[in-house]
Amino acid sequence: MARKRDIDQKNRKTRGAKAVSRRDFVKSGAAAGVGSAATVLSSSGTALAQGVSPADAVRWDYEADVVIIGGGCTGLPAAIRARDLGASVIVVDQNFDLGGKMLHSGGQVSFGGNDPLQHRDIRGERDPEGFVTVGRLHSVEELTEDPDFLFRDHTDWSVMDAAAQAPYRYNERDLHRAYADNCGPTREFLMKNYVRFGRVSGTHGNGGMSRARRAVTFLMEGPTTDIKKGTITAKDAGIRGVSSSHFAPRFMENGAKVVGPGARVNGAALSRGLEFAAREKGVRFILNRHMDEIIREQPFSGRVVGIRASYSPRLHPQTGQRLESLWQNGNVDERRQTIHIRARKAIVIGSGGHGNNPQFRSMFYPAWREPAFVSSGWAMLGPRGQDASGIIAGMRVGANLAGMHQNLSYGSTFHFPGTLATRDPYTDMLPGHPTFPFRGSTGILLQPSQFQHLIAVNQVGKRFHNEILVTIREGGAAFPAAPSKGQPNAGMAHKPLDWRNASIENVRKTYAEPNSVHAALAMNEGSQAPDYFSGPIWAIFDRAAVERDKWNINPPFTSPTNGFFFSADTIEELAAKIQKGHEFQRVPLRYLAETVKKWNAYVDQGSDPEFGRGPDAPMYRIEKPPFYAASLYPVWHDSYGGLRINGRAQVIDMQGQPIPGLYAGGEASGGGNQHGLGRALVHGYIAGTHAASEPTGTR
């Protein structure tokens, strides 16, 4: 161990000295990787001679230089990058299709640090294909920076958001130094791999306070869906309120403001572009395959040498047919229950976060042990998506964790998106994507003011908060700064690293978090030992609300059979139907009738002494049959906290040493609080770079 630690110290110094230049950084990082891994191989040689390595007993079914766990926002760029550098690559993914959460994301990518897109806008240039027809959206000053500036922005101790959380101060320094150095190269890399970006427009959550860095990915509406040409049919891009597609599980929004007329934007443009590039370049994919174990030479020492993975097909809930990926080239149709895949050089964990693992996420917040609530994209990703399996597998071979508390530092980590009548209230999927039958309903999407037409109750039928505030959340401090986001100064007047940003006076002035989600998750009379689940949340409303505010409560927005929407002639009957028909309704809603009666009395009085409704919006009785109950679920949107990685995306063990050959990024990693796609893409790019440079193992 002493030798390894000494070598790591030496490498760290090397990296620190070369960190200013991105080109130098990549070179030195790769060189350090070779030295470090060679040393470990010699030490593991001793173990091999003693014949005690569990890895020796494995019979490998497949092998590749680099094995990547998860074909999403970290895994796809890592795969392409490693392939570009000459490595053979196998990607395993537990789902039937590629893209992970990236596929259903908004496609917003914040980089910065003098990235090529900032340059393009500064120079007033268009994209090479001429799709971007709108002009620059920010001043030259708002787009001008360098990696040092970005690094400082991402590690600014002083920034507070309107929920009095500090989104940047806990970020891992080494990780964010490398992030800042690699943002530009990653943007360039993506654009060479069929990813098109619109104009830079603001900055995405926790992407830094001081400069504009975000651009959204797009395709242009055209007669065919053709990644090379950059076009998509209107049908594939989605028809609002009617259908999604296999290509894009969520409706692709109009990108006229940031691209030009005819642009359709969201993460499908990013995800399908990268997937197309990876398939074209010869990456192999073993889909329907869940990684269960990472195999290391010794349980806590030596290189990682491969993985064990089990068959995890997605079967259509009605027909029982296996779901198939949109594109097939490069797929390996492997259906054995268990296989082992050898990684000659490296393993990259890009398996996503812990948002769908109640046990794991409860390390951070016990109320989130409630299994009813899921991670965004739950139907699309399946029950094993975002299950923390990559993090857990890393822990089993000795990895450390980082940044679990950073789940708190972004306002959308968990929240109420405001969509009723569906289990995943974040993903507004319409029929057309193969996984729609798993959710059964799109959901009724309400804006905050529309909550004036309902009351929200917990599992025993009691209200818990002012309904108008239920979907309100604060956080996501990013450029441009504003008092509404918790900063004392707006826009370019923001002063980085200024103590006044974190002053008591500023927090008092700007705090605006209603904490409604915590009230929803609180224990109640139906919570029982030992887990004290808070249970489902229900929106209760009547026929008059539906007519008054013109809600579409018909399929596909609701489902008569999925247990997330009920109607009844009386409130008592409604309570009984919920208990009978909803999987997570463990106790009777015994207060519901009384709650509605009380609410109607408050409406008659014109005030709500319990939760302060009245001054903010009109109140309406819930009286006209039929009566409705629609689930009002919170969602775990994305997770922060995971495997500790260094600036080369190497997974770090409990002693602070890299685990040889093991890389991770995106939501499987911790210590980086940036929301969205940026961090995962950069981690993937860095991991792919260094994974390809690892020495070839002997096992």
Partner 1 sequence: MADDQVVNANAAEEVQSHAAGVVVWDVPSAIVAGERFRVNVGVKCASECRLATSRIGIYDQAGARLASATLPEGVWPGTSGLYAAEVELTAPGDEGLFTWSVRAPEGDAAGPHAEGSTTFGVRVVRQPDHQITVEAVDGETQAPLADARVVMHPYHATTDARGVAQLRVAKGSYRLFVSQTRYITVGVSVDVTGDVTTKAELFLEPVLERN
Which residues of this chain interact with partner 1, rule CB under 8 A?
Answer: 105-106, 108, 204-205, 250, 412, 417-418, 426, 428, 447-450, 452, 471, 542-544, 548-550, 568-573, 597, 600-601, 604-606, 614-619, 621, 623-626, 675-676
Q: Which is nearer to partner 1, 128 or 560 (CB)?
A: 560
Q: Which residues are CB-contacts of 355 (< 8 A; sequence separation ≥ 6)?
A: 361, 374, 375, 376, 386, 636, 637, 638, 639, 667
Residue pair 524/459 in contact by the 8 Å Cβ criterion: yes
Q: How far is the CB of 249 from partner 1 (least distance, A)?
A: 13
Q: What is the DSSP letter of 533?
A: -
Task: Read off the tokens for 117.
Answer: 């897109």
Could you give the CA distance from residue 593 to residue 605 in angstroms, rounded to a whole number?
Answer: 19
| 213 three-state secondary structure | coil
Q: Cα(606)–Cα(585) distance, rounded to whole angstroms?
A: 32
Q: Could you identify the residue written with the tokens 């999403």?
A: 72
Q: Give the count of beta carbons closer than 10 Å to the beta carbon of residue 668.
A: 33
Name the pairing type of β-strands 289-298 and 642-644.
Answer: unpaired
Q: Which residues are CB-neighbours of 277 under 8 A, at least 6 positions away?
A: 80, 193, 194
Smallest separation, CB 225 to partner 1 (Å): 22
Q: DSSP string of 66-127?
A: EEEE-SSTTHHHHHHHHHHTT--EEEE-SSSSS-GGGGGS--EEE--SS-HHHHHHHTTPPP
Q: How many CB atoms lie within 10 A of CB 191?
A: 17
The least CB distance from residue 276 to partner 1, in Å, is 23
Closest separation between CB of residue 358 and partner 1, Å?
A: 24
φ, ψ dihedrals at 417, nearest 5°: -70, -15
By C-beta, is 152 or 543 nearer to partner 1? 543
Q: Is the CB of 334 or the CB of 572 nearer to partner 1?
A: 572
Q: How far is the CB of 163 from partner 1 (least distance, A)?
A: 16
Listed in sequence order, the residues at least 6 apart from 280 whose beta carbon sits closer than 8 Å to its beta carbon are: none
Which residue number, 525 or 569, has a Cβ lying nearer to partner 1? Answer: 569
For 520, the token pair is 């929803």
Assigned token pair, 314: 């997605």
Q: Which is nearer to partner 1, 26 or 677 (CB)?
A: 677
CB of 328 to partner 1, least distance (A): 30
Smallest CA-to-CA distance from 593 within 617, 612, 568 is with 568
Alpha-carbon span 94 to 16, nearest angstrom: 37
Q: How far apart are CA 380 and CA 229, in angstroms?
A: 27
Burial of 129-141, coded b for 16+ CB within 10 Å and e otherwise, reads eebbebebbbeee
Cα 392 to Cα 338: distance, rounded to the nearest angstrom: 19
Q: Which residue has the tokens 């064990």?
A: 308
Of residues 437 and 625, the one with the C-beta less far from partner 1:
625
Q: Are 78 and 64 in contact (CB under 8 A)?
A: no
Q: Which is nearer to partner 1, 508 or 550 (CB)?
A: 550
CB of 676 to partner 1, least distance (A): 6
Q: Which is nearer to partner 1, 92 or 379 (CB)?
A: 379
Closest distance of CB 79 from partner 1, Å: 24
Residue 293 or 549: the one with the smaller Cβ distance to partner 1 is 549
Query: Using CA of residue 455, residue 461, residue 462, residue 464, what is the dihedral sign?
Result: negative
Residue number, 306 or 377, with CB nearest to partner 1: 377
Partner residues linked to 66 by β-bridges? 89, 346
**Residue 294 bridge partners (DSSP):** 307
Copy the structure tokens of residue 554.
Answer: 């018909």
**Shortest Cβ distance from residue 133 to partner 1 (Å)?**
23
Cβ 183 to partner 1 shortest distance, Å: 18
Closest CB to partner 1 among residues 6, 594: 594
Looking at the Cβ atoms of 147 and 678, the one nearer to partner 1 is 678
Tell me how long the chain is. 699
Q: Is 588 helix (H, G, I), strand (E, B) or coil?
A: coil
If the CB atoms of residues 384 and 543 are measured against partner 1, the closer one turns out to be 543
Minimum CB–partner distance for residue 541 and partner 1 (Å): 13
How far is 583 from 70, CA to CA, in rounded Å?
Answer: 30
Minimal distance, residue 421 CB to partner 1, in Å = 17
Q: Is 604 strand, coil or helix?
A: helix
- By beta-carbon proximity to partner 1, the closer residue of 492 and 601 is 601
**Minimum CB–partner distance for residue 554 and partner 1 (Å):** 12
Nearest of 375, 304, 417 to residue 660 by alpha carbon: 304
Pair 348, 361: CB distance under 8 Å: no
The alpha-helical segments, DSSP class H, found in 296-397 are: 358-361, 378-381, 389-396
Min dist. Cβ of residue 151 to partner 1 (A): 23
Nearest to partner 1 of 189, 628 (CB atom) = 628
CB nearer to partner 1: give 313 or 448. Answer: 448
Distance CA 211, CA 205 (A): 13
CB of 488 to partner 1, least distance (A): 23
CA dihedral sign, ordered 469, 473, 474, 478: negative
Q: Which is nearer to partner 1, 262 or 448 (CB)?
A: 448
State the nearest-atom distance from the C-beta of 349 to partner 1, in Å: 24
- The alpha carbon of 552 is separated from its chain's Cα centroid by a whole number of angstroms, namely 29
State the minimum distance, in angstroms, from the CB of residue 185 to partner 1.
24
Which secondary-structure segment (H or E) carries 22? helix 22-50
